[in-house]
Structure 1
């Protein structure tokens, strides 16, 4: 009867192998496919009108392309700033001791290396960016509510407060692109056009 343990052992191996193959706990890979095709439209919102698109097509390039007619000086800009900007950026745009401003400070020294905070005077490379950003997004509670003259004036005020232009300097579409920002020399133009040189 020595063959009985051998047969029983073989039977055990067969049965356990069958059970493992039948009730395997390994996940079965199932290919993922879309069961419902994408609709041509989700019926959300509406197409923007030509007037709406034009109202947002107001970007200004570093070379001044896109700047509108109008002008302003720091003298008139100070009034606009105190009326419509100071509540968030402080009385003069500078940090105030013991005061936590709800928005970033805009004025500080014009030192790029070793600066404590990024401001218009010590970090921004192009003066036209001031006009572009203020016209597009400020004041925070009422963006695009300033006239072009008010935006030019506030731009002049901020440039003067950062000791970049004189108080009586007239800022407009011709003069603003010519303002050389202190931090400009620390930036390198991206002259890549696409292709092999793009790493």
Structure 2
């Protein structure tokens, strides 16, 4: 049952509402027996499975299919410093210059020096104490120029260039940096023979105080 107790303390009236039960512990016992909300309950494996059962995984999930050789070839396009991975075909600097003006100059400038994006051609690359990095003074391997253009350029349509266009652009940029004869076609045989000025400035990571990458 419930009742109200009124007490006069000086000029202050205190009204307290009291609740009574048959046993003082009854309310606490009833609250303890109520089910906890879902967010307070421990997570249980689905379908009554044990935790150990949920840790095992099937070898296959039953969807998808193996990639075809053609699909793998579309993605397996990396080119190594020694030229392994370069495709057949060729391109020259004159062809590359026309492609550059159409698809590259908007980001790198008309001559590869103006920007607004990365500078590609060496010129006045010393600004105070800071050296501006370009292909001709920083990139260690000529094959990397081909590899990067083919997989990442142009910025708004990466992967859209043909191998001939990439060879042409590579020939043009190497020629603009004074590293290639613009009259000679560039191909998988002669591109790896170009020695970049910065090649000897890069050394293999020979540290042994952590995970070794070879």
Q: TM-score range by the shorter chain?
A: 0.5 to 0.7
Aligned residues: CA RMSD: 3.3
Post-superposition CA distance 1:37-69 (Å, at most 9, x none): 47659x8x9567323322010000100000001
Do the aligned partners of 2:150 and 2:163 also contact (CA within 8 Å) in 1? yes
In the TM superposition, 1:77-116 aligns within 5 A as: 77-95=96-114, 101=116, 103-109=117-123, 116=131
- Counterpart of 2:36? none
1:117 is aligned to 2:132: yes
- Counterpart of 1:128? 143
Pick aligned residue for 1:138 from 153, 158, 161: 153
Do the aligned partners of 2:125 and 2:131 also contact (CA within 8 Å) in 1? no
TM-score (norm 1): 0.67
Q: CA deviation at 1:165?
A: 1.2
- What secondary structure sits across from 1:107 in the alignment? coil
Post-superposition CA distance 1:89-131 (Å, at most 9, x none): 11111126xxxx1x2111124989x762111111100000000
Larger Rg belongs to = 2
Structure 2: stretches of 5+ with no match in the other structure: 1-44, 46-50
- What secondary structure sits across from 1:68 in the alignment? coil
User: Following the alignment from structure 2 to structure 1, what is the Cα–Cα distance between the partners of residues 83 and 166?
Assistant: 14
TM-score (norm 2): 0.63
Q: CA, structure 1 residues 69+198, in 2 after alignment: closer, same or farther (shift >3 Å)?
A: closer
Q: Which has the higher strand share?
A: 2
- What secondary structure sits across from 2:172 in the alignment? helix
Structure 1: stretches of 5+ with no match in the other structure: 1-33
- Counterpart of 2:67? 49
User: Following the alignment from structure 1 to structure 2, what is the Cα–Cα distance between the partners of residues 78 and 144?
Assistant: 19
Q: How many positions carry a matched residue from both structures?
A: 158
If asked which structure has higher relative contact order (CA below 8 Å, sep 6+), I would say: 1
- Counterpart of 1:155? 170
Deviating beyond 6 angstroms after TM superposition, the runs of 4 or more aligned structure 1 residues are: 194-197
